[in-house]
Chain A
Amino acid sequence: MISVELAVIGGGPAGLCAALSAAKSGAKVLIIDKNKNLGGQLIKQTHMFFGSEKQYASTRGIDIPDILINELDKYKDKVEIITEATAVGMYEDGIITVLEKEENYFKLSSKAVVVATGAYEKALSFPNNDLPGIYGAGAVQTLMNVHGVKPGNKVLMVGAGNIGLIVSYQLMQAGVEVKAILDAAPKIGGYLVHASKIRRMGIPILVSHTVKEAIGKESLEKAVICEVDEKFNPITGTEKVFDVDVMCISVGLTPLNELLSMRGCEMKYIPQLSGIVPVRNENYETTVENLFVAGDSAGVEEASAAMVEGFLAGLCAAAKIGYRPKDFSERKNDYINQLKNLRSGPAGKHILAGIGQVSGR
C-alpha cells in the first residue's frame, strides 16, 4: 500500500493543472497516468488554443504539456509521477487500486483525490460501421500527429463540430485528401473561423446529411451518405457515394468517469455535458467528501476549461487537507472568473445550463 496526501488520477490538461495547483499550496501529490507520456490528448493538438493568455492561448496544444511539466518541476520535492499506470478501481473505503505496466498491482490510499480521467470518443451506428478504416477522429490525430502515419488517402469526415473541422484541416496538412465533411445537424457546430478555413480549401461541408452505410470487404472502400429531414430521418433518393478508404467519426466525446460511479458519487445524465457526470459543488468536490473531479470527466468541454477546472480543484483539494494558502480566496476567485470568461460565448451558455443541473450538494 502506498499512502499519499493527494492522488491525481490522469495527467492530461486537467490533472497536470490540479497537481500543479495543489503542489503550489504545499500538498504532496502523486499523479497516476496510464500513458507513457503526460499531457493526455494535448500531445496531438497541433492547432493554437483560444481563450486568454492564462490558458495558453495562441500556444499549440502539443507545446502545453512541456510548459506544465516544467512548472511541475519547480515542486520536485512535492510531486511524484507514475506513468503507464491505470487506476482500475476506487473502493468505498477510499482505496484506489492501480495496475502499473500490466505487472505491478498495488493499493493506494490518500487524503484527497482529484479524478481527471478525461473522455472517450463516441461511435455512430450504421451498417458496417466496424470496418477497418473507420476510425475515431482522435485516433486519426494520434496516428498522424504522434506517429507521422497517414490514416489513408481519401477521407470522409463525419461531424462538423470543432474536432471534425480541426482534424480535417490537420489531414490536409498531412497531405491526405478530405472529400467532404458531413453533419446531421442543419448547422455547422464548430467555430466559424475553423469552418471558413476548411471552405477556403475547397472542402464541402454537407449539413443535414448522415451516413447510410459503409461498404468494403476487408476494409472501407466506399461510403454511402444521404440527406436527413428536420427530424433526422433519412430521405430516400438523396444518396451519394464516396470512394474513400477512411471514414473519420467525430460525433463528440463522452465523460470517462467510471471510477466515480464505482466509488459511489452521485451521478446524473446531463446531455449538455455529453453524458453521465458527477454532482459537485463550485469547488469541483463531488458528493463524496475529499473526492474532486476536473476536466472532461466532469463534463465534456475543451482543454482550456479543463486546465482551469484542474487549477481550481487542485487548490480546493489541497485546502481541504490542510494546505490553505494565504492567497486562497484570491486564487479561487481568479479561477472562477477565468471559467466564467471561457463560458461567456454561445457554447458556454449550453455548458452552464448543464452545470446548473449538477451543482450544489
Chain B
Amino acid sequence: MRIEEHPILKFNKERKIAFIFNGQEMEGYEGETIAAALHANGVKVLGKSLFKHRPRGFYCAIGNCSSCLMTVNGAANVKTCVTDLEEGMIVQTQEGKGVIV
C-alpha cells in the first residue's frame, strides 16, 4: 500500500519503527502517523461505532472528525490520524467510550 515511485514527491522513509496493533507486530516509519502506518499495513478499520458497532476508519485525516479514535499505550480516544507513530507503541481498537486515565 506504499507509493514506490512518484513523479514529484520524495518520501523520507529512513527509520523503520516496530509497533503492536491488537497484539500483532507491525512496522511503520518514523515521521508518519499511527493511522498512516496502519493503513500501509492494510488496516482500514480503526474502531467500532459506540452503539451499532459499525466499523470505523478515518475520514478527514487532519484531526477534525474524530473517526479515528483508538487506545494508544493505554490512553483512550487518541486521534491516530494526527499522532505520530513511536517505537514500541501499543495500538488497540477501542471498545466503548474509553476511560480517562
**B63 partner residues in chain A, CB cutoff 8 A:** 34-35
Chain B at the A interface: SS class: loop
Q: Which of A35, A120, A138, A146 has most chain B Cβ within 10 Å?
A: A146
Say whether B55 contacts A143, CB under 8 Å. no
Q: A120-B64, A150-B3 are in contact. Are A131 and B55 (CB under 8 A)?
A: yes
Residue of A whose beta carbon sits closest to that of B47: A132
**A173 partner residues in chain B, CB cutoff 8 A:** 6-8
The tally of CB-CB contacts under 8 A between chains A and B is 99
**A211 partner residues in chain B, CB cutoff 8 A:** none
Say whether A145 contacts B36, CB under 8 Å. no
Q: A130-B56, A132-B45, A143-B36 are in contact. Are A148 and B62 (CB under 8 A)?
A: no
| CB under 8 Å from chain A, chain B span 32-56 | 32-33, 36, 39-40, 44-46, 49, 54-56
Asked if A77 lies at the interface with its beta carbon under 8 angstroms from chain B, I say no
Task: State the interface size on chain B (CB cutoff 8 A).
Answer: 35
**B44 partner residues in chain A, CB cutoff 8 A:** 132-133, 218-219
**A144 partner residues in chain B, CB cutoff 8 A:** 3
Q: Closest CB-CB distance, B62 to chain A, in whole Å?
A: 6
Task: State the interface size on chain A (CB cutoff 8 A).
Answer: 37
Asked if A109 lies at the interface with its beta carbon under 8 angstroms from chain B, I say no
**A132 partner residues in chain B, CB cutoff 8 A:** 44-46, 55-58
Residue of A whose beta carbon sits closest to that of B13: A148
Asked if A54 lies at the interface with its beta carbon under 8 angstroms from chain B, I say no
Say whether A145 contacts B59, CB under 8 Å. no
Residue of B whose beta carbon sits closest to that of A120: B64
Asked if A147 lies at the interface with its beta carbon under 8 angstroms from chain B, I say yes
Q: A136-B59, A139-B61 are in contact. Are A148 and B45 (CB under 8 A)?
A: no
Residue of A whose beta carbon sits closest to that of B44: A132
A-B residue pairs, 4 tightest by C-beta: A132-B57, A148-B11, A139-B61, A147-B36
